[in-house]
Structure 1
């Protein structure tokens, strides 16, 4: 983590990961991560309804694909992508510069506490980035403060693990027969906003109204073929193998290889997935 990054203590662990090895891995595999969510792209962007002249805040922007998409639509306006990860933001800046998107900017900051100018954005968006807040009420309240009255929040979050085949397949393979501990459903992580009732309550407490939830289902692609998908997922989730001996490690990797081969098809290695498209309005 860089010395200039001010992080809420509740987000310290996330900052260490995203501004460290995990963020570096995402930066190095930006195209695969973006491709994995490609099936949600059109619906998500349509829901943001970004138009000419608007000011857009992209929370957890990663390597900047959604920020760049917003900037293309916000002609005469601006799009600011915010993330904890310096490695991913370097990729984001490079790609925006290559496209001459001068009104797209990127900031390494903790959106939970960063002092955005009040009422300075028309819409806040996030593609699978809001589930990692240590204190989601504080984070959503800070985002609401940055939006003008009537400004919109549009976020894509995962539905429950049982609705996401990819999660079950990979964790089962890499468990190698172990019973892995299940994190509390409200802990920061991919599924912390999977319960609409909880998310609705968090948004209301933070100052948002009119929450809407649209259930989406789409294939999630992890690579163009089994070899690429195997290498990608192994690198992404290899930490799950750290406490295994050689025999169980080989067993886990064989199981991972088997599941990606089973899911290989003409469009790559695809698994079923499910998200919520969540919308809300700032008071």
Structure 2
């Protein structure tokens, strides 16, 4: 990996470690939000018996912990670049009484596992942030056993994800943020048609499929939406950290107005759209 990609990786590591406390605080809200995507990954992987499953970019533990509960005779290895996130995953595993879970801090582009070690690989909302997505896909394919399954979820286009654009749109309207470099990590980096099919095919996988899956961020109030997004979303916090007080207040007011216009009854339940990509070795 070249120096520029290594720099991106280190920035990602620092960011996820920094925001781990926010993810712990809002874990229940966001895990409920992301559950449909995890459920689809699990349905496609169909773990059973003594399967050994790798969950990449496992964060606070899902869908790896749900997989572990499904295969008590099997084993799940949860990996992430951020040690602080995996610490929360370990606490969640202990709370659920799961003894077949191992956590491992590592880089997806250099997985510390032998070839053909796993029956299945899951990765929920990690690919958008990997510095080198092609290398990451090849590494996942490398550690899969012949016949093994891989499933990953990525965000669909911005137009179908108001939960992001409500706040990021207000930020961009009020701040002159530098444009990201081409191919830089970002929420909608993997939304273009054909991305998933091409990526997994280039990694040597077959029977590739892509399915749209809906989710819903059930904030209930605009206050909860604002608080959650400003405590877990690194791009939001980074941008607001550069805003003066007046600009920050203007952004906040615009976000509240946008939420209130979309949900006039005050019940803030924001639809979202993801793509789940599947392939077999």
Query: Do they superpose with TM above 0.5?
Result: yes
What's 1:205 paired with? Answer: 202
30, 33, 36: which one aligns with 1:33: 30
**SS of the counterpart of 2:109?**
coil
CA distance in structure 2 between the partners assigned to 1:265 and 1:53 by the alignment? 50
CA distance in structure 2 between the partners assigned to 1:106 and 1:145 by the alignment? 20
CA 1:52 to 1:129, structure 2 compared with 1: closer, same or farther past 3 Å? Answer: same
| CA shift digits 1:50-80 (9 cap, x unpaired) | 1121111001110003111010112211011
**Are positions 1:233 and 2:229 aligned together?**
yes
CA distance in structure 1 between the partners assigned to 2:35 and 2:206 by the alignment? 29
| CA shift digits 1:140-182 (9 cap, x unpaired) | 1111111001111011111121222222211122335345444
Instruction: Give TM-score scaled by structure 1 length.
Output: 0.87
**SS of the counterpart of 1:53?**
coil
What's 1:4 paired with? Answer: none
CA 1:215 to 1:67, structure 2 compared with 1: closer, same or farther past 3 Å? Answer: same
1:63-212 equivalences under 5 Å are: 63-178=60-175, 180-184=177-181, 186-212=183-209
Q: Unaligned regions of 5+ residues in structure 1, if any?
A: 1-6
| CA shift digits 1:179-221 (9 cap, x unpaired) | 5444356322222221242332222222222221112233233
Instruction: Give TM-score scaled by structure 2 length.
Output: 0.88
**Are positions 1:250 and 2:246 aligned together?**
no
CA 1:140 to 1:39, structure 2 compared with 1: closer, same or farther past 3 Å? Answer: closer
CA 1:103 to 1:118, structure 2 compared with 1: closer, same or farther past 3 Å? Answer: same
2:220–2:269: 8 Å Cα contact kept in structure 1? no
CA 1:45 to 1:266, structure 2 compared with 1: closer, same or farther past 3 Å? Answer: farther
CA distance in structure 2 between the partners assigned to 1:241 and 1:121 by the alignment? 42
1:174–1:252: 8 Å Cα contact kept in structure 2? yes
**SS of the counterpart of 1:37?**
helix
CA distance in structure 2 between the partners assigned to 1:11 and 1:262 by the alignment? 38
CA distance in structure 1 between the partners assigned to 2:43 and 2:260 by the alignment? 34
CA distance in structure 2 between the partners assigned to 1:199 and 1:185 by the alignment? 18
Alignment size in residue pairs: 274
**SS of the counterpart of 2:194?**
helix
CA 1:127 to 1:177, structure 2 compared with 1: closer, same or farther past 3 Å? Answer: same
CA distance in structure 1 between the partners assigned to 2:205 and 2:212 by the alignment? 20
Q: Unaligned regions of 5+ residues in structure 2, if any?
A: none
What's 1:15 paired with? Answer: 13
| CA shift digits 1:56-110 (9 cap, x unpaired) | 1001110003111010112211011101111211111111112221111111111
1:270-281 equivalences under 5 Å are: 270-281=269-280
